Amino acid sequence: MLIEICQMAVMEELHEIKLFGRGGQGIVTAGNLLSEAAAHGGKYAQSIPTFGPERRGGPSICSLRISDKPILLRCAVTTPETLCVFDPTIWHFINILLGFEGEGKMIFNTQHSPNEIEEVLTEGKYGYKLTGSGYEIWTLDATEISTRILGRPITNTTMLGAFSKATELVEMKNVEKAIGKRFPTAAEDNMKAAEEAFNSIKKL
């Protein structure tokens, strides 16, 4: 069944996002929860992880698309406008800016401030450089929040709150719905962590 939609309308409303983390941190789950939360909000969404026999600790990347219109693309995101970095060091050795055109939002789980992150990225300390002026850098210490509330440094649900606040693409009530469905017995704590992230994330 082919869905006929106007390309211009689609282009305007399509948001392409990449999530970065390490195997075992729940990046795939985070992508699924975010797309499900977006769907609860009446949007179309799709999360495409790099599928494979991934090792715990190795890099894990997930492509996410959110749109008001049905999504025709069936491939990984190559020009993301939003980056969400779940692991505080993953960006030291993989180029998270690949395809990022200097315009959009970047969310970091880090102890550093947005200013400090900007400095490191524009200096090109890790072999790739941030250019452009249309970017926004958001930071929070999701590892601390997760460890304190959930008892372990798994940041996937915590980062959902940060994503919701920074991008406004998913509402917290829909994040709650998605978390409740996925983790029926641990929903309360996971939601608490997401809410704290929502309230504590800072912008450059």
Partner 1 sequence: MTEQFFTGNRAAAEAARLARAQVVAAYPVTPQTSTVEYISQFVNNGEMEASIIRVESEHSALSAVVGASLVGARTFTASSSQGLQLMSEVLYFASGMRVPAVMCIANRTLSMPVNIWADHQDSMVNRDSGWIQIYAANAQEVFDNILQAYKICEDEKVLLPAMVCYDGFIVSHVAERMDVLTQEQADMFLPELNGSNRPLLDPKEPLQFGEVVYPDWYPDFEYKKHKALLESRKTMEDVAREYNELFDRPYGLVENHMVEDADIVFVGLGSLTSTTQWTVNELRENGESAGLLKIRVFRPFPDKEIIEVCRNAKVVAVIDRDIGYGTAGMLFPDVTRALYPLDERPKCLNFIVGLGGKDITPETIMKIHKIAEKALRGEEVETVNWPDARIYD
**Which residue ranges make up the site for partner 1 (CB under 8 A)?**
1-2, 4, 7-8, 10, 32, 35-36, 39-40, 44-49, 51-53, 71-76, 78
- The Cα–Cα gap between 154 and 137 comes to 22
Q: CB 45 → partner 1: shortest distance, Å?
A: 7
**Beta carbon of residue 5, minimum distance to partner 1 (angstroms, whole number):** 8
* Closest approach of partner 1 to the CB of residue 151, in Å: 28
Minimum gap (Å) between residue 75 Cβ and partner 1:
4
Residue 53 vs 151, nearer CB to partner 1: 53
Q: At what angle do helices 27-40 and 172-182 cross, to 10 degrees?
A: 120
- Closest separation in Å from C-beta 133 to partner 1: 27
Q: How far apart are CA 117 and CA 39, in angstroms?
A: 32
Residue 107: beta bridge partners? 84, 138
* Residue with Cβ nearer partner 1 (35 or 146): 35
Q: For partner 1, which is the closer residue by CB, 73 or 172?
A: 73
Q: Between 71 and 140, whose beta carbon lies closer to partner 1?
A: 71
Q: What would the DSSP string read from start to end of 52-121?
A: S-PPTTSEEEEEEEEESS-----S--SS-SEEEE-SSSGGGTS-TTTT--SEEEEEEESSS-HHHHHHHH
Nearer to partner 1 (CB atom), residue 47 or residue 158: 47
How far apart are the C-alpha atoms of 188 and 54, rounded to whole Å?
29
Pairing mode, strands 44-49 and 15-22: unpaired
